[in-house]
Amino acid sequence: MGKTAFIFPGQGAQVCGMGQDFYEHTETGRKIFDQASELLGFSMPELCFEKNDRLDITEYTQAAMVTVSVAMLKVMEERGFRPDVTAGLSLGEYCALAASGVMTPEDAILTVRRRGILMQEAVPAGIGGMSAVLGMNAEAIDQVVDPIDGVQVANYNCPGQIVISGRLEAVAQAAEQLKAAGAKRVLPLNVSGPFHSALLKEAGEKLGKFLENVKISDPVIPYAANVTAEYVTRAEEVKPLLERQVYSSVKWQQSVERMIADGVDRFVEIGPGKTLTGFVKKISRDVKAVNIEKLDDLEKLKEL
C-alpha cells in the first residue's frame, strides 16, 4: 500500500474567489476565515472574494493563501482524509506545518502575515528580480549561476523549470549566459521582490526573532522541508529551517523525489490552481496527483 502526501502551493497561485465555496458551504471552512479576520484585523473573505489590488501584495497574499489552504485542509480532515507526509512550496510550507501539527492554524496565519511584511519591506522596488529558466537541467544552471555574484537558484521546481533570483543586473547577466549555454528561454517573472535570495537574509533573521515567541510542536506527521528536501521529525529543527527558507533555494523537485523514495505514490495539492500537480507529473509519471481547489474536487479523492 502506497502513501499519500498533502502538498500546498505558494505565492503566485492566488486568485480572486479562492476558497469561497469552502467558506460559504462548510462551517469548518468559515471558522478558519473568520479566525483569520479576527487575528489580522481585516476581512479575509473580502480580501479573497472581492476584486481588489491587495491580494497580489506580498504582505496580504501570504496570509490569504495560508488561510485558504488551511480552511480546505480542515474540511478534508473533518471528512476523514489524512496524509502520511506533507510538504509545501515556499509559503505553502506553513500549511504543511499546520497539517503536520507543528503549528496551530492561528500561529501559521499570524506568522506568514509577519513574514509577508518583512519580505515586502526587505528590498526596495527595482533592486531585485526573478526569472524562470526553461529547458535546462539543474546541474548546468548551477554551473552558470554559481560564479555570478548577486544571483542564485531560488526554486528547483521540476525538470526543465528552475527559477533564479537576486539583483536585477546579476539576474540579467545570468539570463544571457544561460541562453548562451543552452537554455530554451529565460523569462522575467512579475514578482515584487527577489525571493529566496541572499538579499532577503535580513528578513529571514527578523522572522527568526518573531518565531522565538511561536509555539512549535514535534510533527505528528513528517514534513519535507524546502531547505533540505529531508523530513523534519523534531520541533527544534523547525525554526532555523524557516528562517533560512526566506533566503535559501526551495528544493521542491528534490522534496518530491524524497517523498516518492519513501513510498509516496499519491499527491494531493490543496489550494488554488494546479501548479504543483503539474510539477509532480513532470517529476514522475509513476505517481498520481490531483488538485483540490473547489468543494466538488473532494470527489477526486475517491479515485486515489
90 classed as catalytic: yes
Give the Å distances, CA to CA, from 136 to 88, 176, 184, 267: 24, 14, 7, 25
Q: Is 53 exposed, middle or buried (0-12, 13-18, 19+ CB in 10 A)?
A: exposed
Nearest to 199 by CA among 243, 248, 251: 248
Beta bridge partners of 164: 131, 153
Give residue 231's Cα distance to chain centre: 16
Give the Å distances, CA to CA, from 1 to 83, 256, 287: 13, 18, 13
Task: Given the residues 69, 196, 248, 249, select the one marked as catalytic.
Answer: 196
Residue 171: CB partners within 8 Å, gap ≥ 6? 128, 129, 130, 131, 151, 164, 165, 188, 194
Task: Given the residues 69, 90, 100, 197, select the one marked as catalytic.
Answer: 90
Cell numbers for 290, please give them.
490531483
Residues annotated catalytic, as ranges: 90, 196
